[in-house]
């Protein structure tokens, strides 16, 4: 595993918490964030037990029909209605069966306990030096990133510690 194999979000990405949205780079171990149970269609709380960050020089900006967006690694899984977990590019390391994330896909958004769908209207590649962050999302491996259901890449189960990747855990 190299330092660029962690799939994650830019530091200004807002994570849903019971106290309102918090930037992912300001989330601490032990904080409570929202997770989601896809089987029961219910919002749940999860305690952050692991935090990781990595560095990337290419990410994507996924833009939705309400002008909101996600800035994430190209392989980060997003829940898409009718498809399941989807990403621009698959990363075999995490063993998720991913579909291709595409313009026109509809993603679940939860804001103030109101569930709605947001449609992807554009996907842009961004190049630069990006410090990226991911946190654990409890037993369902889901967090709310900018109000969109996204996978936490099973961070709680990830045991590898490599130079260039910072892992903290409770």
Distance, CA of 78 to CA of 166 (rounded, Å)? 23
Determine how many CB atoms are found less than 10 A away from the CB of residue 89.
13
Domain carrying residue 103: 9-169
Q: Is 40 within the bounds of a domain?
A: yes
The DSSP symbol for 155 reads: G
> For residues 150 and 73, is the Cβ–Cβ distance under 8 A?
no
Residue partners of 164: CB distance under 8 A and separation at least 6: 2, 3, 54, 55
Q: Is 1 within the bounds of a domain?
A: no
Q: Is 24 within the bounds of a domain?
A: yes
pLDDT value of position 5: 60
pLDDT value of position 136: 86
Per the structure block, which two tokens stand in for 9? 């979000």
Q: Is 161 within the bounds of a domain?
A: yes
pLDDT value of position 160: 44
Total-model pTM = 0.87
Residue appearing with tokens 């980060």: 76
Q: Is 73 within the bounds of a domain?
A: yes
Determine how many CB atoms are found less than 10 A away from the CB of residue 55.
13
Per-residue pLDDT of the chain (170 residues; tens, 9 = 90+): 344 567 789 999 999 999 999 999 999 989 999 999 999 988 999 999 888 888 999 999 999 999 999 999 998 999 999 999 999 987 665 567 889 999 999 999 988 778 899 999 999 999 999 999 999 888 889 999 999 999 987 665 554 444 344 555 55
Q: If you write DSSP's letter for every residue of 96-150 in order, what string do you get?
A: --PEEP-TT-EEEEEETTEEEEEEEEEEEEEEEEEEEEEE--GGGTEEEETTEEE
pLDDT value of position 89: 85
> For residues 35 and 44, is the Cβ–Cβ distance under 8 A?
yes
Instruction: For residue 61, give the CATH number of its domain.
Output: 2.170.16.10
Number of domains in the chain: 1
Q: If you write DSSP's letter for every residue of 64-93 in order, what string do you get?
A: ETTS-EEEE-TT--EEETTTEEEESS--GG
Per the structure block, which two tokens stand in for 40? 């029961």
Q: Is 21 within the bounds of a domain?
A: yes
Q: Is 90 within the bounds of a domain?
A: yes
Distance, CA of 84 to CA of 86 (rounded, Å)? 6
The DSSP symbol for 167 reads: E
Q: Is 2 within the bounds of a domain?
A: no
pLDDT value of position 2: 41
pLDDT value of position 45: 94
């Amino acid at each position: 595993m190299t330092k660029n194999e962690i799939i994650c979000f830019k530091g200004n990405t807002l994570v849903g918490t019971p106290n309102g949205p918090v930037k992912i780079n300001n989330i601490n171990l032990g904080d409570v964030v929202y997770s989601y149970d896809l089987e029961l269609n219910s919002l749940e709380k999860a305690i952050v037990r692991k935090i990781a960050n990595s560095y990337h020089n290419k990410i994507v900006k996924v833009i939705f029909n309400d002008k909101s967006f996600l800035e994430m690694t190209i392989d980060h899984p997003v829940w898409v209605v009718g498809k399941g977990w989807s990403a621009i590019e698959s990363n075999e390391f995490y063993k998720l069966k991913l579909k291709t994330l595409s313009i026109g896909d509809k993603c679940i958004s939860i804001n103030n306990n109101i569930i709605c769908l947001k449609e992807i209207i554009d996907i842009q590649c961004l190049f630069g030096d990006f410090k990226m962050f991911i946190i654990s999302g409890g037993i369902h491996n889901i967090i709310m990133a900018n109000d969109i259901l996204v996978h936490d890449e099973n961070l709680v189960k990830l045991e590898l510690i490599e130079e260039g990747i910072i892992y903290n855990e409770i």
